[in-house]
């Protein structure tokens, strides 16, 4: 009798083991494309155009767009890369006054990062994930002339752009749910540190790149995604 019971338990364990091993497996390797909109904030950043005269303001925010391409290798792991683009910062510091040329200042942010996600919770209706990010950040400052067009056309742009390049590291979290077919909708939160050069680049008129050094970045966004089986 003991042998029969032991044999039955062993058979049940053997049958359950493959099922447990398959809980992290997907039927197919999946690819995911996600697009998002939201708000990017740099709450403690010193936005300057001339640090010697303290022409600085603290903090900045901008509407942003982001896009990600990811490969889902299991129910609990995905990896990929993407970009973030912010073209409309709300904090502006005017260019240095010049007796000959008046100028306007515009700024934009761009990041290109890798992303690794871990999904601790998955169900047919909701998924929650945590992740780590890292990559490159570019801050572009454009100082364009606001003078009227001369009678004779001049070759070349009417302004100058400085690009400050650095690195970004951070973490992210989010949740998503299917809406129809392969489409999903979700929300995400990201925190990162931008590591920019401490020395600001300058234009020929003395205008400086608006951001230098370390800055903390917060991002809150809404995303829509599409999933497709790779094989």
Tokens of 11: 């058979």
**Segments of 75-196 assigned E as strands:** 77-89, 103-122, 127-145, 159-180, 183-195
For residue 191 the two structure tokens come to 């925190």
Tens-digit pLDDT profile for residues 162-174? 899 999 999 999 9
Higher pLDDT, 199 or 81: 81
Residue 190 near residue 68 (C-beta atoms within 8 A): no
Pairwise pLDDT comparison (51 vs 19), residue with the higher score: 51
**If we measure between CA atoms, which residue out of 66, 75, 191 comes closest to residue 133?**
191
Residue 50 has pLDDT above 70, yes or no: yes
DSSP state letter for 66: E
And the tokens for 135?
Answer: 């990559």
Between 105 and 68, name the one with better pLDDT.
68
What is the structure's pLDDT at 214?
94
| pLDDT at res. 30 | 87
Q: How far apart are CA 50 and CA 212, in angstroms?
A: 12
Q: Under CATH, to which class is 28-229 assigned?
A: mainly beta
Residue 202: pLDDT band by 50, 70, 90 thresholds?
confident
Q: Name the residue ranges covered by the structural domains of the chain.
A: 28-229
Angle (nearest 5°) at CA 34 between 29 and 38: 155
């Amino acid at each position: 009798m003991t042998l029969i019971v032991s044999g039955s338990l062993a058979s049940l364990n053997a049958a359950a083991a493959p099922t447990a091993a398959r809980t992290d497996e997907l039927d197919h390797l999946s690819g995911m494309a996600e697009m998002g909109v939201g708000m990017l904030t740099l709450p403690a950043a010193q936005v300057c155009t001339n640090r010697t005269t303290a022409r600085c303001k603290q903090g900045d925010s901008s509407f942003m767009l982001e896009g990600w391409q990811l490969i889902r290798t299991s129910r609990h792991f995905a990896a990929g890369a993407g970009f973030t683009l912010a073209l409309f910062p709300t904090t502006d510091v005017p260019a240095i006054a010049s007796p000959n040329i008046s100028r306007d200042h515009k700024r934009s942010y761009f990041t290109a990062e890798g992303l690794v996600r871990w999904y601790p919770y998955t169900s047919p209706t909701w998924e929650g994930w945590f992740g780590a990010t890292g990559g490159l950040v570019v801050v572009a400052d454009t100082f364009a002339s606001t003078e009227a067009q001369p009678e004779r056309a001049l070759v070349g742009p009417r302004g100058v752009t400085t690009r400050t390049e650095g690195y970004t590291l951070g973490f992210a979290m989010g949740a998503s749910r299917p809406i129809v077919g392969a489409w999903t909708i979700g929300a995400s939160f990201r925190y990162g540190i931008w590591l920019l050069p401490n020395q600001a680049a300058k234009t020929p008129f003395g205008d400086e790149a608006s951001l230098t050094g370390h800055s903390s970045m917060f991002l809150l966004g809404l995303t829509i995604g599409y999933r497709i089986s790779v094989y």
